[in-house]
Amino acid sequence: MANAFEYKCSSCGGAMEFDSASQKLICPYCGAVHDAAEYDAMQQQTAGQQAQQSATQGGNNWSMEQDQWNVNEDGLYSYVCESCGGEIVGDENTAATSCPYCDSPIIRNSQFSGSLKPDYIIPFKLDKKAAKAKLNNFVSGKKLVPKVFKDQKHIEEIKGVYVPFWVFDADVYAEVQFDATREQPSGNQIEVGHFDVYRGANLSFRGIPVDASSKMEDELMDSIAPFNNNEAVAFTPAYLAGYMADKYDVSPEEGFLRADEQLKNSVASALAGTVQGFNSVQAVASNVNMIQGNARYALYPVWILNTKWQGKQYRFAMNGQTGKFVGDLPYDKGAYNRQLFLFGGILAAVIFVVLFLAWLIFR
């Protein structure tokens, strides 16, 4: 396929999108349905036949292999939509987006070729309607939340994004030293004894996810984990139609540094469970040696909404597979003051009425 590809319906030419409910490519205009993997395989076969035909006729067909995104002077990349002629702008990591004018899905296939091709993808299971409902439920009833967070036009801007992740597997030998305490009564007091406890074991860890995009806060992505890798499928670009995606810009070596911290915490937690008969157990030292490890490249589904208020960025995220939702809300000081003044006014009026009635009774 060409490196900039638009998913056109073979029946009517409309722009197709991946449907999370049916897990198929669906044309919203004529209702045609395509299997994602089969559609991409068919397009690759067609592209191969065209290349072979061009070679037979003496043409070079180089346009099928070049990246059709142009680099602008400001370092941004632009692409002209084949459906409406509108200009689409992205950065060097943009891999999947949509035309802002006609909403046609655009896939930049050069971002998913060779070493950039993900090993697998977890397709969206929850659609935009589910994400909006979760967000509406999150902000509803909160009177002090600024109005922009409840504005339905703004909530409509929530985007489905495939976030790149490194997923690590590791076999390790670990040794951990614990400080264990045991309490026992001694007269009117309680004596606390401290004991050094050592544990060592061979452990295997599978599917440790590390956010591979510098655009996403690591803490935010950690908060909506876990993702169920049992529902992962082999990557094919058609799953991206209708969603946004970036390629990774965090190297696997950088990702492993974060995975290593998760490993150490998991090792300490696992071995602490083997220390029995104490009131408390605290890891004080550890040594984790990797025997074998590998990293896989994956795309995970996330619904994202960014809201800027009073110079600060607020981001909401929902796991597009499980529905786990996280976000942070500010409170509107103006609304708080209005509520306070209203309450104060009502309270003052009540006190005035009570005092007035008391004056009438006891004068």
What is the DSSP secondary-structure string of 304-344?
Answer: EEEEEETTEEEEEEEETTT--EE------HHHHHHHHHHHH
Residue 349 pLDDT > 70: no
- Which residues have C-beta within 8 Å of that of residue 148, sequence separation ≥ 6? 154, 307, 309
Asked, as a colleague might, if the bond just before 330 is cis with ω within 30 of 0, I would say: no
Q: Give the residues across from 120 on adjacent strands.
A: 234, 298
Residue 159 pLDDT > 60: yes
Kindly state the average pLDDT of the residues 26-44. Answer: 88
Alpha helix ranges (H) inside 122-200 = 128-139, 152-155
Q: What is the pLDDT of residue 245?
A: 92
Q: Name the residue ranges covered by the structural domains of the chain.
A: 4-117, 159-331
Phi/psi of residue 339, each to 5°?
-65, -40
In a 10 Å sphere around its CB, with 0-12 CB exposed, 13-18 middle and 19+ buried, how is residue 221 labelled?
buried
65-79, 183-197, 255-269, 296-310: which range is least confident on average? 65-79
Q: What is the pLDDT of residue 345?
A: 56
pLDDT class of 262 with cuts at 50, 70, 90: confident
Buried b (16+ CB within 10 A) or exposed e, 164-200: bbbbbebebebebebebeeeeeeeeeeeeeeeebebe
Residue 257 pLDDT > 90: no
Checking 150-154 for CB contacts under 8 A at 24+ apart, the result is 154/305, 154/307
Per-residue pLDDT reduced to its tens digit, 164-219: 999 999 999 999 999 999 998 888 888 889 999 999 999 998 899 999 999 898 99
The C-alpha angle 324, 217, 292, rounded to 5 degrees, equals: 85
Tell me which residue of 63, 57, 69, 131 sits closest to 95, measured CA to CA: 69
Q: Tokens 């009517």 — which residue?
A: 12
Please tell me the pTM assigned to this model: 0.79
- Which residues have C-beta within 8 Å of that of residue 3, sequence separation ≥ 6? 65, 66, 67, 68, 69, 108, 109, 110, 113
Torsion, Cα of 20, 24, 26, 32 (10° steps)? -150
The helix (run of H) or strand (run of E) holding residue 234 is strand 233-234
Q: What is the pLDDT of residue 336?
A: 44
- Contact between 181 and 198 under an 8 Å Cβ cutoff? The reply is no
Q: What is the pLDDT of residue 66?
A: 43
Q: What is the pLDDT of residue 337?
A: 45
Q: What is the pLDDT of residue 340?
A: 45
pLDDT class of 11 with cuts at 50, 70, 90: confident
Q: Tokens 């490519």 — which residue?
A: 25
Kindly state the average pLDDT of the residues 150-158. Answer: 88
- Contact between 211 and 225 under an 8 Å Cβ cutoff? The reply is no
Among residues of the chain, what percentage have pLDDT more than 70?
82
Q: What is the pLDDT of residue 86?
A: 82
Write down the mean pLDDT value for the chain: 82
- Contact between 106 and 81 under an 8 Å Cβ cutoff? The reply is yes
pLDDT class of 351 with cuts at 50, 70, 90: low
Residue 309 pLDDT > 60: yes
Phi/psi of residue 15, each to 5°?
-80, 120
Residue 2 pLDDT > 90: no
User: How far apart (Å, rounded) are the C-alpha atoms in residues 328 and 166?
Assistant: 26
Phi/psi of residue 28, each to 5°?
-75, -10
pLDDT class of 346 with cuts at 50, 70, 90: low
Q: What is the pLDDT of residue 328?
A: 81
